[in-house]
């Protein structure tokens, strides 16, 4: 599904990714973790072709992404910070994205699920942070792509919306999809992910299940296992 070989990315003198190798065969929920600034978003954007690596190869669904950008239609992406045009109404944005990508009725189910109906005629610039995130989630899950990438999906969500998001993610997994998630909310990661990929100092420090991580770090719970990696490595 996703194969990354020897990936390097620097911004000026800042070497962010220093030889990432990662192969995700497909099906399941993978959490990409690491301290602030460790390069999680840079890795995700490299997969999406939004960041051009200095070195390395990335294939998505068997195709090298440097050759052709068509693969992006097979990815649903929730950005960390959505830059919506503030004058546009919610319903206009939904219509616009459907016109750009493809027509679907899934938006109706998601509007109902996240109770977005009262906001459809409101301008995006006037929405609260959590409501913007719900619209953002709707736009991501509206299409039926085999790879879903979620950058900090829980930001600003109230408890009911968080439950809905978790259900949505599990439903997509049940359809056999591959879901990559970054999050700093350890309880959320522990609940949803099948495997974690921990980035530290530009490389993959650990990849495996949460129970394997607990064993490796000799810690009784996930939060302390993550904390022990960071303190042991002075990150
Ligand atoms: N376009 C850019 N230009 C210059 N530096 C950048 C750019 N994008 C990212 N960086 C730098 O690359 C490093 C990694 O950033 P990135 O956003 O990938 O980290 P992250 O692990 O997603 O962090 P966080 O957990 O805070 O979201 C940071 O030092 C950041 O300042």
Tell me if 39 sits within 8 A of 204, measured CB to CB: no
Our answer on whether the CB atom of 11 is closer than 6 Å to any ligand 1 atom is yes
The residue whose C-alpha atom lies closest to atom 29 belonging to ligand 1 is 37
Residue ranges of the alpha helices (H) in 81-221?
A: 90-100, 106-113, 129-141, 159-174, 186-192, 210-217
Main-chain dihedrals φ then ψ at residue 209, nearest 5 degrees: -80, 165
**pLDDT for 50-87, tens place per residue?**
999 999 999 999 999 998 888 999 999 999 887 888 99
Q: Identify whether 139 is part of a domain.
A: no
Residue of minimum CA distance from atom 3 in ligand 1: 11
Asked if pLDDT for residue 235 goes beyond 80, the answer is no
pLDDT in tens, 166-185: 999 999 999 999 999 999 99
The ipTM estimated for the assembled molecules is 0.98
40 lines ligand 1 (CB under 6 A): yes
CA of 170 to the centre of ligand 1 (A): 29
Angle at the Cα of 80 (from 97 to 100), degrees rounded to 5? 10
What is the domain count for the chain?
A: 1
Task: Give nearest CA residue, ligand 1 atom 7.
Answer: 11
Residue 63 maps to a domain = yes
As a whole number, mean pLDDT of residues 149-168 equals 96
> How large a percentage of the chain has pLDDT more than 90?
88
Maximal CA-CA distance, the chain: 53
What's the domain range around 210? 2-76+145-232
Distance CA 32, CA 43 (A): 9
Segments in the chain forming alpha helices (H) = 40-48, 90-100, 106-113, 129-141, 159-174, 186-192, 210-217, 222-232
Looking up residue 188, the CATH number of its domain turns out to be 3.40.50.300
């Amino acid at each position: 599904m996703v194969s990354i070989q020897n990936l390097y990315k620097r911004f000026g003198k800042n070497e962010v990714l220093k030889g990432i190798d990662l192969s995700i065969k497909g099906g399941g929920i993978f959490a990409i973790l690491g301290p602030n600034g460790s390069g999680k978003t840079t890795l995700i954007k490299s997969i999406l072709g939004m960041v051009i690596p200095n070195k390395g190869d990335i294939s998505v669904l068997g195709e090298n992404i440097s050759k052709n950008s068509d693969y992006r239609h097979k990815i649903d992406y929730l950005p960390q910070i959505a830059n919506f045009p503030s004058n546009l109404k919610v319903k206009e944005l939904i219509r616009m994205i459907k016109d750009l990508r493809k027509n679907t009725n899934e938006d109706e189910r998601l509007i109902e699920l996240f109770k977005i109906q009262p906001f459809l005629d409101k301008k995006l610039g006037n929405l609260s942070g959590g409501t913007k995130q719900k619209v953002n989630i709707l736009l991501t899950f509206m299409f039926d792509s085999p790879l879903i990438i979620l950058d900090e999906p829980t930001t600003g969500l109230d408890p009911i919306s968080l439950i809905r998001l978790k259900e949505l993610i599990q439903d997509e997994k049940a359809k056999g999809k591959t879901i990559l998630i970054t999050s700093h909310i350890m309880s959320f990661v522990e609940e949803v992910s099948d495997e974690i990929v921990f980035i530290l100092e530009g490389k993959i420090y650990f990849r495996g299940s949460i129970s394997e991580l607990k064993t490796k770090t000799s810690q009784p719970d996930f939060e302390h296992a993550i904390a022990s990696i960071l303190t042991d490595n002075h990150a």
